[in-house]
Amino acid sequence: MSFLRSLLVLIPALMMAADGPSAPAPSTAPGSGVGGSSMGMLIMLPLIFGLMYFIVIRPQRREEKKRKELMSALNRGDKVTTIGGIHGEVVAVGEATVDLRINASGNEVVVRFNKGAIASMVADLKAT
């Protein structure tokens, strides 16, 4: 992924370098000048934005959609992992919070987290 992002940065630089020096060479023909390089940039701009959409924006929206589905699907009894790595069982689900039961050294503790702190649901390994 980082390779593609660095490629996005390098493409315009390479296009400008391929156009030649920044000052136009003197010519005697009327109408000859820098028009070719501006057309190249006009063509490259939509291509760069399209590439950025497919590399950055689209996957980010897909991940956000999955995360919203996870938050709306939380139910009592689900086993989850928080972004801090804490494993627990959902005891109660509120508008913006989730209560998790954590078994710490044989003592059960109920801790309240924001819904955004839930990273993923954990498959029940005992059932398999």
Render pLDDT for 3-52 as a digit per residue (tens, 0 to 9): 666 666 667 666 666 655 555 555 555 554 545 578 888 888 899 999 99
51-88 burial code (b ≥16 CB/10 A, e <16): eeeeeeeeeeeeeeeeeeebeeeeeeebbbbbeeeeeb
Q: Please give the Cα distance from 121 to 110 (Å, whole number).
A: 18
Helices marked H in 1-128:
2-18, 35-52, 58-72
Encoded tokens for 121: 């649901």
Do the Cβ atoms of 114 and 96 come closer than 8 Å? Answer: yes
Q: How sure is the predictor about 81, in pLDDT bands with cuts at 50, 70 and 90?
A: very high
Do the Cβ atoms of 107 and 93 come closer than 8 Å? Answer: no
In order of 10, 18, 31, 35, the CA distances from 22 in angstroms are 18, 11, 17, 13
Half-sphere exposure of 62 (CA within 13 A, CB side): 7
Q: What is the model's pLDDT at position 101?
A: 94
Task: List, for residues 91-107, the tens digit of each pLDDT value.
Answer: 999 999 999 999 877 88
Q: What is the model's pLDDT at position 128?
A: 40
